[in-house]
Every structure is written in structure tokens, then in C-alpha cells.
Structure 1
Amino acid sequence: MATEKRQPAAKSRPKAEAVDVEDPTVTADATTFVQKKELIDRIVAATGMKKKDVKPVVEATLAALGEALSRGEALNVRPLGKVQVNRKKEHGNAEVLTARIRRITGGETAPQDPLAEVAE
């Protein structure tokens, strides 16, 4: 008698839906994922720069942030905030990082350009 091996049911990740973060009725249970393409599009819209110029900078920035967090380094990058890895676990071919992010809310002004103006 041949026995059949059952394949475990594939876990499907629920598709993230857009949530208005300014909406006070939105709870912390609502999860949205901003994909890299959307992040790049938002930066292009905010800066007016060309997508071909923004994309390599965003990719390099994300890589540097990811590497720093993997090494257990704490980040202090405004306006994102302070990011500190609390736990790190190897899981197959991936790392699972549990981090705490502390952001300043309310009353924060736009960051000022730290560079001095060119003297005439």
C-alpha cells in the first residue's frame, strides 16, 4: 500500500491595504506595507528629482540601514527617529530583527539645512 505525503498548506500573507495614518480611528492592528517602488515614487514626488537619480540613493540607503541593524548598531536618524534592535534571530536563510523605534511627535519642526550659505 502506497502512502501519500501531504504537503503542508501554503501560508498566504494577507494583502496589505492602504490606511490613512492621519485617521484617528485607525488602530495599531492595521498593517500596511510600503514597497520600495512606492517609497521611491514618494521621494520623487517630494523632491522633484528624477526617478533614475533617486533609485540608487534609496537602494544604497536601505542597504546601509539594514547592514547597520544586522550588526546590532543603534540608529539615530531624524526624522525617522531612534532605532534599536532588541532581539535578533537566525531563521533559515533570513534574519528576524525585533526593533524599537522612538519617534518625536508633535511640535517637531522641519529639519534645517546644516550647510552654510555660500558667501558672496
Structure 2
Amino acid sequence: MTISSSTEAVDDVTEAAFEPESASNEMKKKELVDLVVIRSGIKKKDAKPVVEAMLAVLGESIAEGRELNLQPFGKLRINRTVEKHNGRVTVCKLRQSTNASNDTSTLAETAQDG
């Protein structure tokens, strides 16, 4: 398959070429990085540090008890936090809009322009 710089090619790669590594429904960091590379069109070596930094910032924000409003991901509110001997358990509520668009054309166009 030849990949052009069009949005259709990005969609084809996303739908046809990507197979999750595990049969479980759990997304791991490697899969997240791979999907970000496919969706954005940037190189993996450039995407990985950004994804890792973003995950660190999100984790720190949740640990501080901050609410997150990150559309189209959604709005995350901390309900309660319990300290355990092996870590912290945080119970959250995530509200996502039902009319949120999964439009990748903006990301693909931005990657091409930038």
C-alpha cells in the first residue's frame, strides 16, 4: 500500500493496518504512541517523548486532585481518593460528549502544513 499525504490515506492506515497487540481491551503506552503516530503523521521518535510527557502531566494533575476538561477526551472529575499501602486509588467520573466528532482531518492537515 502506498501512503500519500491525503487524509484518506491516513484513515486507510488507521483502519486497515493497525492491529492491537493484545486481545484485551486495555490500551498500553506503546499502542497509544503508535496510534498517535498514525493519526498525526509525525515520526515515532518525535511522538513518544510528547506522549510520555503528556501522560506524566495528566498523572500529576490527577494526583493533585485537579479536574480535567480536555475535549474531545472529556471532562474528568475526581470523586474520591484513598491511600493504600501500595499506592493511591482515585475514583473518577469521566463525562464525554455524545456529539463529539472524531474528525482526524484537522490533525492530518496540521501535520502536513507544519
Larger radius of gyration: 1
Q: TM-score, normalised by structure 2?
A: 0.66
Q: 1:46-89, CA deviations, whole angstroms, 9 ceiling, x for partnerless residues?
A: 11110010001001101101111111100000110100111111
Which of 96, 106, 120 is matched with 2:99 structurally? 106
Q: Counterpart of 2:23? A: 17
| Identity in percent | 41
Q: Counterpart of 2:68? A: 75
- Kindly report the root-mean-square deviation, in angstroms, between the aligned alpha carbons of the 2 structures: 2.2
Does residue 96 of structure 1 match 2:89? yes
Q: TM-score, normalised by structure 1?
A: 0.63
Aligned length: 85
3-state SS of 2:90 partner: strand
Comparing both chains, which one has the higher relative contact order based on Cα–Cα distances under 8 Å and sequence gaps of 6 or more?
Answer: 2
Structure 1 stretches of at least 4 aligned residues deviating more than 2 Å after TM superposition = 106-113
Q: Unpaired segments of 5 or more residues in structure 2? A: 1-21, 108-114
Q: Give how far 1:91 is off.
A: 1.6
Q: Unpaired segments of 5 or more residues in structure 1? A: 1-15, 19-31, 114-120
